[in-house]
A and B are shown apart, each in its own frame.
Chain A
Amino acid sequence: MTLMSMIAAEFAKLARSLSWTVVVLLPAAMVLAGALSSLVAGQQPADGWHTVWLRSVVFYGLFPLAIGVAVLGSLVWRAEHRGGNWNALMSTPVSSLRLVAAKTAVIAALAMAMQLVMLLCVTVAGKAVFALPGMLPARYLLISGVIMLATVPLAALQSGLSMLLRSFAAPVAVAFLGAGASTVLLLAEIGPIVFLSPYALATRATQLGTGTFADGGEIAGATVGSLLAATALLSLVTIAGAAAILDRRDTRT
């Protein structure tokens, strides 16, 4: 089987997995919560689009993004842990690397779709709720592109955890812990953590160009470059690691 047909098979399995509820509801709830807290406080976003972005995307990056990807990972692997599906998977004439890559691709695609829903919700909130002038500035589209790429290692890691742990909830708990610890390290301005922790990488990407935490406020080429380098490095290491582990797994009785 080619990688493309495996990815197509994974998407077919997703059709009835309810993963769309996570992709749509999580970003929508984040933006709604941010907008509501502004409305209840009776204040307009002081800095226009920047404030709306801070209250939704930056907060989303602190830990809800990691949890969302973790839930998606558990959903994508859930089918393989049920009935006799694990043994069917083990006896499929497909290399572990391809299987892991296909699962990661599907989870990453859903995570990227989540960012697109986020963009849409932020735009709707800015226009319909706060009647902000103009459209969402183009820089946020660029930032979203970086965020989408930076979720790939996170997708690969959560895919690996959901592959190993049959429980739905356990990988989500790991993501919560990982995201919390990474946020504390970013708060302490330990920048190189993005090369070690996929959670820190995704969180750091959501802060790009906002001036929060360790960010300078501009979209600096060096920052984007190091984020993309970390993305490539962590994706390769995580996917290869998960494939090596899956290679050593056997059928279960």
Chain B
Amino acid sequence: MRRTAGKRARAIALGTAGVLLLALAWELYKSFGPLAGWGVGGVLLLPRTDDISMPHLGAMLARTAEPLTSAADSQPVWLIVLLGCVSSLGTAFLGLLIGAVVGIGLALVMLRFRVAEAAVLPWLVLSQTVPLIALAPLVVTWGGQLQFGSFSWQRWMSVAVIASYLAFFPVAIGALRGFQSPEVAHTELMHSYAVGWWKTLFYLRLPASVPYLLPAMRLGAASAIIGTVVAEVSTGTEGGIGRLIIEFAQSGSSDPAKAYSPIAGAVLMGLAAAGIVSIMGLALSRYRRNEAQS
């Protein structure tokens, strides 16, 4: 137990050191790098170091605390970014949820029918090569045609669907590997108990898949966030962090420090999602006993 605590402290220290090193590198290059950049034959190899290209970290932080515009009722940048994060995180979570349900469902079908594994798996791999940007307008168009009663398709729903398109893949692969992970001794034991496929699933395959499902969910969560941000940009969905990244970047020349706030926001979203999955892992620690052994 103590050894794992020491390990954790070490990991935190190393992680912090990494971030500090990156910040230091940024500021060092900004101080000593060539102001107009450096290149060969018109091709820029080293970036410019002026305040428009590389604002000081301090300026970025300061800009975050200031109001967005000079208008009297303007909210500070950090609040706007935070609200954007919350909105996008909600969408990404829904996307992850859909992705997890679809992914685990596909894994179950592939587990149940050997033929399906051979038939479906290559398509799953292929599905991930379709550029998200090509897919986004299609989803929006299809969604727009859905309308029953008081329900009408919202644009953020399209974003969630697009996010789920990225998120389902690692979950499907991880779940399939996890479901197939029990040893022969265990599956034969279940066979000797004369129990069916479903009971074997619930008593053996599902618990055994937890050490595989958790990393898959972590990957899926990261994918869902990337998918959400990209989909927000390409569908022009308002309120999310994707839109803020575009909006703030457009004022790049006049207000360069502002553009970095939503990027930092996106990073924080990723950390939050990874944190949530880790908490899930703690709750499921009973099922991860064999992880520590091997």
Please say whether chains A and B are actual partners in one complex.
no
Chain B interface residues (CB < 8 Å from chain A): none
Residues of A at under 8 Å CB distance from B?
Answer: none
